[in-house]
Structure 1
Amino acid sequence: MLTHAVPTTSGPILGAEQGAVRAFKGVPFAIARRFAKATPPPAWAEPRQCTDYGAFAPQPGHLDHADEAACLSLNIWAPAGADRPLPVLFFIHGGAFVTGGGADYDGGFLAPHGPAVIVTINYRLGPLGFLQLHRHGLDEANNLALQDALAALDWVRANIASFGGDPDAITLSGQSAGASMVIALATLPQTRGKFIRALALSAPGRNIMSPDHADDVARRVLDELEFSRDPTAIASVSLPKLFAAVERVGRRLADEAASGTVFGPVLDGSVIPREPREVFADGSLRDIPLWLGSCRDEMAMFLKSTPPAAMIRTTERQIRAAFGDAGWGHLLSCYRATARVDEDPYEALLSDAFWHRPMADVARFHAAAGGEVWLSRFDHRPALEPFLSQGPTHGADNACLWAHLPDFIDRPILKRKGGPMTATDIDVAARFQANVLRFVTTGMPDIAEAWPSFEPGKEPLAIFGQPFHIVPLNDGARFRMWAELTVRPEAVA
């Protein structure tokens, strides 16, 4: 059943009634030419039916029928009949900056359980969203994906009241690459006053790319395409040829460069004027409650990929560069000596180095500056692949967050099927969802009394497992080994 027409700044739209929820899918918030900044879509007068997801952003596996200009859409789930403006969860999907889309996240279960208005967005991916070409004759091509997300946020601010949402109660949220986008987005001067809290799940350790590295990636791609003498030709090359060139460059970067990262938000000095950690550290965001989460075995998925992901080699290289081969050896020996029966010490070391420790550092910066922050780790193994075979690896928490209890949902873009949940899945997922929704609606987790906020000298880490419990982060042999290496690397040389 279609909804009544809802007015937006571009024109009226129709959604679908799904029980107690109204769903609006594929709502255009902007259009964009290749390597150009997004602009508002052309206005329409007649009600536009928005009941199906919009075009995927061009990405590997979805290039033949991609619509570059029309991929910038968002999806809204709103409880029907709300008697007050509801808080808004604004979610940015992950996918290593090259895959994914809002269609993989159905907010129809979370919305009535908040109650809250749930928004998921698309943004440009891979070279179309992250290739920095503003030094090569394409003046607007810098941090385009982040600017897409900002355009979506501005659209939500301007229109969400028409869907029952409160534009002054928006929580920025994201997972993986989307979490990195959230951390960057939260620190921009352009977003000040446009959101009131932030949730980042499994943000990569290096949230921001240096401009020199981004420029090196751009030069390599242009060279690969033989466009060095005429960089603007990249604006008309076919998508398969462009993405194939990027893939070849990425393989070489993994072996040659100190950082194997190809894409991500870039400290360009204009869209992103400052390193986000500095913004958290100086107290500019002290009034923004922050929740940072990760999964216990983050790296397992990447170790078991074929070939192993580039971040495996680059993370080990970075640790060796920081502490020397002797320091690396001492760390690995420590992890082997303290490993659980079912734990891969090498994976645990890399997970701490790339995921857990950098997120804890952000928490420390925010807490030291007077901000409220909660830190969590997801230790539950969902009864769903790839987690059944790989444990609580990257994305385990995300699968539970978006589950429609008692089932995991299908992920059409990732081509992953959902399925029935076990009783333990349901228990852990329900607790995780309740905490997230409480954070979105009040600014603190649901079980705040049992889960105190992170603060200098007291660093509680919430473990979402069976049972839920709290452990001290700054304790144990592994913590002490990292601390010793960081303060006095020569002591273990």
Structure 2
Amino acid sequence: MTDQPRRTGVIQTRSGAVQGVVDPLWGAQVYRGLPYAQAERFAEPRSPEPWIGVRDAAGNGPVAPQNAPEFNLSVLPAMDEACLNLNVFTPAADAARRPVLVYIHAGAFVSGAGSGATQDGARLAAEEDVVVVTINYRLGILGWPPFSARGAGAGRNLGLSDQVAALAWIGDHIAAFGGDPGKVTLFGYSAGGWSIVALLALPAAKGLFHRAVVQSGSEFSATSPGDQDALAARVLALTGAADASELISAPLDRLLAAQQALLEERQNDPARRVDEGVVFGPRIDPASLAEPPMATVLAGREHPLPLLIGSTEDELGWTPFRAGLDWLAALHTRDASLETPTRAFGAARARAIWDAYAAAYPGADDAALAGRIRSDRYYRLPAIHAAEAHAARAPTWMYRFELKAPSEVAGNVSTHATDLAFWLGTMAASPLQRFLFGRAPTVDEEALARRMRADLAMFARTGRCAWPPYRAGERLTRLYDLQDSLAEDPGGGVRDVW
């Protein structure tokens, strides 16, 4: 017979009373599956319905409907369109007014959840005396529809609207869980980091958060109206609907099947896959985003909040698990790497880019060089450009994670998501960590993770980092590896060829 988890006291929120559990390992109080909003399909979120009695917050709420990911490292939890819920991890539900760290999950805007072993916030909350919140938001065609199914005024960035609704709920309720609603820090990985840059550009998010941590966010673009129209036409063709309004009542399975078909079309179309742009994600939309988030940042129109931004050393580097997927292997070639810069700059400039990387990484084969180029184009360069622009208006810091994942499938490179479990302190429990490292974390790796969590908590508490701010020309960057170091312009000048 298993021991029952110890229960917390009952907390009274504006929506109703809740009772959670005490994490048995770290001692944090955990409240799961709390509804922060409700929404009909393709509609903007609205306030959640209050409840009567004490809500049991011991178990995770449903996650956003999604297709099974290509790398499915764990069993998908229960999915439901009523997925707008969040999880709170706190040292104590008291009046201490701790900094609040809100995590926005990764998954290319089509998969993932705010729950699970990798995203657990109990250790971060307990060790750093902060409140951690993880959220679910609508994904794929339900979160980022390329059409306005409910009329011309209906939004197309519903996933962003969900994130704004979660922040509004946190502002109204987090004091009951020991958090400070005036000291809210967003941190998010990959699609979560991309979302945070969009929220920095989004007028509706102004004042709802006070610092931002962008972790391996990519590109920071938004789909153009023309591409949305083409995508909407494909959705209608694949679902057999005459117009988008029919999809409001269409079976969910039909929508997910169309979504999967669209993702596979992108992977298998050589004319589109070279650019790797996401099928679902932020969209140009008069109701929310008037331009790509990066354009807002470069123009100086984003919210001027303290920013910590960075990436891993080799986000899209050549690894055995990428070699095992034909569509990814096709991207790690010389021809694929030259196609986009040839279109942008001409053939001579594209060849110069390739030659510069070959000189910087002597002995690397074409696949490894292609991985370096793609890593810089989609992750490192957008982070540098965003940091340089934002630093002119608000305090900005940059990091780079350089610890290499040693497992056979990870190929001993610091690939995308190598650092995710380090930030949250979940390496021992994370299936992602086991996949990338193939073993339990070492003492030195745990020490690195503790240093990263301390830096994250310091930023949430003070709006500052423990190293000097980032400035154009210097580009001082914290390098996270087993050696603690700073570097000016790490990696040399290779990125300047772009």
Which category of TM-score, normalised to the shorter sequence, fits these structures? Answer: 0.7 to 0.9
Residue 215 of structure 2 aligns to which amino acid in structure 1?
A: L
Per-residue deviation, 1:274: 4.1
What SS is found at the alignment partner of 2:137?
coil
Residue 58 of structure 1 aligns to which amino acid in structure 2?
A: P
Give 2:106's match in structure 1, choosing from 76, 94, 119: 94
What SS is found at the alignment partner of 1:362?
helix
After superposition, the Cα gap between the structure-2 partners of 1:49 and 1:90, relative to the gap in structure 1 and judged at 3 Å, is: same
Give the structure 2 partner of residue 245 of structure 1.
258
Where does structure 2 lack aligned partners over 5 or more consecutive residues? 1-5, 70-74
Give the structure 1 partner of residue 484 of structure 2.
468
Give the Cα separation in 2 of the matches to 1:350 and 1:28: 39
Give the Cα separation in 1 of the matches to 2:423 and 2:491: 29
Give the Cα separation in 1 of the matches to 2:170 and 2:130: 14
Per-residue deviation, 1:336: 1.5
* 1:273-302 deviation per Cα after TM superposition (whole angstroms, max 9, x unaligned): 344334434545574110111011111368
- Does the 8 Å CA contact 1:38/1:147 hold for their aligned counterparts? yes
Give the structure 2 partner of residue 232 of structure 1.
245
Give the Cα separation in 2 of the matches to 1:111 and 1:100: 21
Deviates more, 1:373-382 or 1:266-275: 266-275
Give the structure 2 partner of residue 360 of structure 1.
384
Deviates more, 1:345-354 or 1:213-222: 213-222
Indicate yes or no: 2:46 matched with 1:39.
yes
After superposition, the Cα gap between the structure-2 partners of 1:383 and 1:79, relative to the gap in structure 1 and judged at 3 Å, is: farther
Give the structure 1 partner of residue 448 of structure 2.
428
Per-residue deviation, 1:131: 1.4
Give the structure 2 partner of residue 437 of structure 1.
457
Per-residue deviation, 1:86: 0.3
Give the structure 1 partner of residue 31 of structure 2.
24
Per-residue deviation, 1:32: 1.9
Per-residue deviation, 1:338: 1.5
Give the Cα separation in 2 of the matches to 1:129 and 1:117: 27
The number of aligned residues is 473
Alignment of 1:122-201 (within 5 A): 122-134=136-148, 137=151, 140-201=154-215
What SS is found at the alignment partner of 1:198?
strand
Give the Cα separation in 2 of the matches to 1:474 and 1:404: 28
What SS is found at the alignment partner of 1:396?
coil
After superposition, the Cα gap between the structure-2 partners of 1:480 and 1:33, relative to the gap in structure 1 and judged at 3 Å, is: closer
- Does the 8 Å CA contact 2:85/2:135 hold for their aligned counterparts? yes
After superposition, the Cα gap between the structure-2 partners of 1:14 and 1:214, relative to the gap in structure 1 and judged at 3 Å, is: same
Give the structure 1 partner of residue 8 of structure 2.
3
What SS is found at the alignment partner of 2:184?
strand
Alignment of 1:51-66 (within 5 A): 51-61=58-68
After superposition, the Cα gap between the structure-2 partners of 1:134 and 1:311, relative to the gap in structure 1 and judged at 3 Å, is: farther
Give the Cα separation in 1 of the matches to 2:283 and 2:414: 30
Per-residue deviation, 1:348: 0.6
After superposition, the Cα gap between the structure-2 partners of 1:246 and 1:164, relative to the gap in structure 1 and judged at 3 Å, is: same
Residue 114 of structure 1 aligns to which amino acid in structure 2?
A: E
Deviates more, 1:371-380 or 1:467-476: 467-476
Per-residue deviation, 1:404: 4.0
- Does the 8 Å CA contact 2:406/2:438 hold for their aligned counterparts? no
Give the Cα separation in 1 of the matches to 2:330 and 2:111: 17
Per-residue deviation, 1:310: 9.9
After superposition, the Cα gap between the structure-2 partners of 1:309 and 1:128, relative to the gap in structure 1 and judged at 3 Å, is: farther
What SS is found at the alignment partner of 1:308?
helix
After superposition, the Cα gap between the structure-2 partners of 1:87 and 1:469, relative to the gap in structure 1 and judged at 3 Å, is: same
Indicate yes or no: 2:369 matched with 1:345.
yes
Give the Cα separation in 2 of the matches to 1:285 and 1:144: 20
- Does the 8 Å CA contact 2:155/2:288 hold for their aligned counterparts? no
Give the Cα separation in 2 of the matches to 1:46 and 1:188: 37
* 1:180-215 deviation per Cα after TM superposition (whole angstroms, max 9, x unaligned): 111101222112122111001011114322232223
- Does the 8 Å CA contact 1:131/1:217 hold for their aligned counterparts? no
After superposition, the Cα gap between the structure-2 partners of 1:392 and 1:476, relative to the gap in structure 1 and judged at 3 Å, is: closer
What SS is found at the alignment partner of 2:187?
strand
Give the Cα separation in 2 of the matches to 1:131 and 1:66: 22
What SS is found at the alignment partner of 1:327?
helix
After superposition, the Cα gap between the structure-2 partners of 1:243 and 1:310, relative to the gap in structure 1 and judged at 3 Å, is: farther
What SS is found at the alignment partner of 2:479?
strand
* 1:311-366 deviation per Cα after TM superposition (whole angstroms, max 9, x unaligned): 94887532221122322222112211211667822211111111101110001111
Give the Cα separation in 2 of the matches to 1:267 and 1:311: 29
What SS is found at the alignment partner of 1:103?
coil
After superposition, the Cα gap between the structure-2 partners of 1:45 and 1:416, relative to the gap in structure 1 and judged at 3 Å, is: farther
Per-residue deviation, 1:260: 4.3
Give the Cα separation in 1 of the matches to 2:115 and 2:424: 12
* 1:419-474 deviation per Cα after TM superposition (whole angstroms, max 9, x unaligned): 621123112212211111111111122x32xxx21113221122111212222228
Give the Cα separation in 2 of the matches to 1:309 and 1:244: 22
Give the Cα separation in 1 of the matches to 2:300 and 2:155: 31
- Does the 8 Å CA contact 2:94/2:177 hold for their aligned counterparts? no
* 1:137-180 deviation per Cα after TM superposition (whole angstroms, max 9, x unaligned): 57535111111111111100100000000000000111000111
Give the Cα separation in 2 of the matches to 1:94 and 1:395: 9
Give the structure 1 partner of residue 20 of structure 2.
15
Give the Cα separation in 2 of the matches to 1:466 and 1:340: 24
Per-residue deviation, 1:399: 1.9
What SS is found at the alignment partner of 1:439?
helix
Alignment of 1:254-273 (within 5 A): 254=267, 255=269, 256-257=271-272, 260-273=277-290
* 1:111-136 deviation per Cα after TM superposition (whole angstroms, max 9, x unaligned): 02221100000001111111122178
Per-residue deviation, 1:234: 1.7
Give the structure 2 partner of residue 486 of structure 1.
none
Alignment of 1:253-402 (within 5 A): 253-254=266-267, 255=269, 256-257=271-272, 260-285=277-302, 287-300=304-317, 303-304=322-323, 306-309=325-328, 312=331, 316-339=338-361, 344-368=368-392, 370-382=393-405, 387=410, 389-402=411-424
Give the Cα separation in 1 of the matches to 2:189 and 2:99: 19
Aligned-pair identity in percent equals: 31
Residue 90 of structure 1 aligns to which amino acid in structure 2?
A: V
Residue 209 of structure 1 aligns to which amino acid in structure 2?
A: T
After superposition, the Cα gap between the structure-2 partners of 1:285 and 1:323, relative to the gap in structure 1 and judged at 3 Å, is: closer
